[in-house]
């Protein structure tokens, strides 16, 4: 399947499943045909038997697996300016709204998202289903049902499928970039609390036709949440309400805030913090030490976390370190009589530029033995620094050392 480029979204009216929820008959017929011979002038098919098998395709009817819900809007238990936005729910399975038919039509999706004022309907929990399970229902009057439920012709317009480029917010928990979306047909009013209910219309086609609507309409609820709609919360109102030249934490601009801090030994203390986005450039009040000022440490940690969240950057850094390490090792060389410790020490020396010394012999002792044996290390070679050999001892010190040995 073709993967979309970043930022692209393709919309589809719907995605039909291989088989809708229904009962299907599978008929198997076996026939035997013998060829024409002298005794049989023509080939005659001989039917042996015909067998029928019934297959029932049944999906969710009263309950929906929570993993099928990718996201909802407005967010659950939120409060904001939602008066100009249609609520919706994003489903993981792209064919879900079209897997059942609302009789007598075979093209009407069986899911609808209802926006109901908390005073318009009653949500009933732990209702016994015919199959013995427990589920949730919503009950409303006939007048509320006529206002809240879409018409049969409107239901297909409130459901669609999307193919989204991987990495988008709607596909953060999806695996193939395909989702189904069910929207509500009503807008909330400011100053009210609402219930959003994803209901099943599978056995309630008459309500969609506005024909015989009972006094109380009860529908199965597959998913529901609540929110509050207000007039504030938009970016324009928040930006207009920001106080200008306000002193954060009671401090003047540029001064760090004093925050509670626990030192490494567990004793309480005070830390000075100033955010990385500051409109003025002031000299720090104290030296930037980790024990007293955590501003730089916080900024560094933030940068490391942002870098670690970039998978491509982490992968490239790992590859760069691997190439750098392999190039520093060079071709393996094992001298006669060498031990693994010698080889490891030489490898470390080539990579770090330090003298190979796996036994931790002090530098002074190693130089004394080198002078006694008449051999000098490269760092002690004459002229290494244009004068006295690096690290060499004075002549009288070397003579005294030889006398003591």
Q: Which helix (H) or strand (E) holds 257?
A: strand 257-262
pTM of the model: 0.55
Q: Which among 100, 115, 84 is positioned nearest to 198, based on CA atoms? A: 115
Per-residue pLDDT of 27-86, as tens digits, reads: 988 887 766 565 555 556 666 778 899 998 888 788 899 999 999 999 999 988 899 899
Instruction: Please report the pLDDT score of residue 229 as a whole number.
Output: 92
Distances (CA, A) of 297 to 194, 290, 292, 301, 305: 45, 7, 11, 6, 12
Which residue ranges of the chain lie beneath pLDDT 50? 290, 334-335, 343, 353-356, 358-360, 375, 377, 379-405
- Pairing label, strands 216-229, 78-80: parallel
184: DSSP letter: B
Instruction: Please report the pLDDT score of residue 192 as a whole number.
Output: 93
Instruction: Please report the pLDDT score of residue 271 as a whole number.
Output: 83
Instruction: Please report the pLDDT score of residue 349 as a whole number.
Output: 53
Q: Which helix (H) or strand (E) holds 313?
A: helix 311-329
Instruction: Please report the pLDDT score of residue 385 as a whole number.
Output: 45
Instruction: Please report the pLDDT score of residue 323 as a whole number.
Output: 82
Instruction: Please report the pLDDT score of residue 354 as a whole number.
Output: 46
Tokens of 144: 């509320």
Q: Which among 110, 112, 89 is positioned nearest to 101, based on CA atoms? A: 110
* Residue at token pair 């239901």: 155
């Amino acid at each position: 399947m073709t993967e979309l480029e970043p930022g692209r979204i393709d919309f589809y009216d719907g995605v039909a499943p291989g088989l809708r929820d229904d009962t299907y008959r599978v008929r198997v017929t076996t026939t035997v045909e013998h060829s024409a011979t002298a005794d049989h002038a023509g080939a005659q098919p001989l039917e042996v038997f015909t067998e029928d098998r019934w297959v029932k395709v049944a999906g969710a009817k009263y309950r929906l697996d929570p993993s099928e819900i990718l996201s909802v809007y407005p967010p659950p238990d939120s409060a904001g300016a939602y008066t100009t936005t249609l609520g919706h729910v994003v489903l993981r399975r792209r064919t879900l709204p079209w897997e059942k038919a609302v009789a007598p039509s075979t093209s009407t999706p069986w899911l609808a998202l209802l926006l109901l004022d908390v005073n318009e309907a009653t949500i009933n929990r732990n209702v016994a289903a015919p199959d013995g399970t427990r589920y949730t229902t919503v009950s409303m009057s006939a007048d509320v049902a006529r206002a809240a439920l879409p018409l049969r012709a409107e239901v297909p317009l409130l459901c669609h499928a999307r193919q989204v480029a991987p990495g988008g917010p709607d596909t953060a928990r999806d695996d193939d970039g395909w989702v189904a979306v069910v929207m509500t047909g009503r807008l909330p009013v400011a100053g009210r609390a609402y219930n959003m209910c994803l209901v099943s219309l599978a056995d309630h086609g008459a309500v969609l036709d506005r024909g015989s609507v009972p006094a109380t309409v009860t529908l199965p609820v597959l998913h529901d949440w609540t929110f509050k709609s207000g007039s504030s919360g938009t970016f324009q109102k928040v930006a207009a309400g920001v106080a200008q030249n306000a002193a954060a934490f009671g401090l003047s601009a540029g001064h760090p805030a004093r925050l509670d801090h626990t030192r490494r030994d567990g004793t309480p203390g005070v830390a000075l913090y100033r955010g990385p986005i500051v409109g003025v450039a002031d000299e720090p009040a104290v030296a930037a030490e980790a024990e007293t000022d955590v501003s730089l440490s916080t900024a560094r940690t933030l940068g490391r976390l942002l870098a670690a969240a970039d998978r491509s950057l982490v992968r490239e850094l790992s590859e760069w370190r691997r190439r750098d390490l392999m190039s520093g090792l060079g071709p393996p060389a094992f001298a006669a009589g060498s031990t693994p410790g010698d080889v490891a020490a030489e490898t470390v020396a080539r990579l770090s530029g330090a003298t190979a010394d796996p036994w931790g012999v002090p530098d002074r002792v190693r130089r004394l033995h080198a002078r006694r044996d008449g051999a000098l290390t490269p760092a002690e070679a004459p002229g290494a620094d244009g004068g006295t050999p690096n690290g060499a001892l004075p002549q009288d010190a070397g003579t005294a050392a030889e006398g003591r040995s």
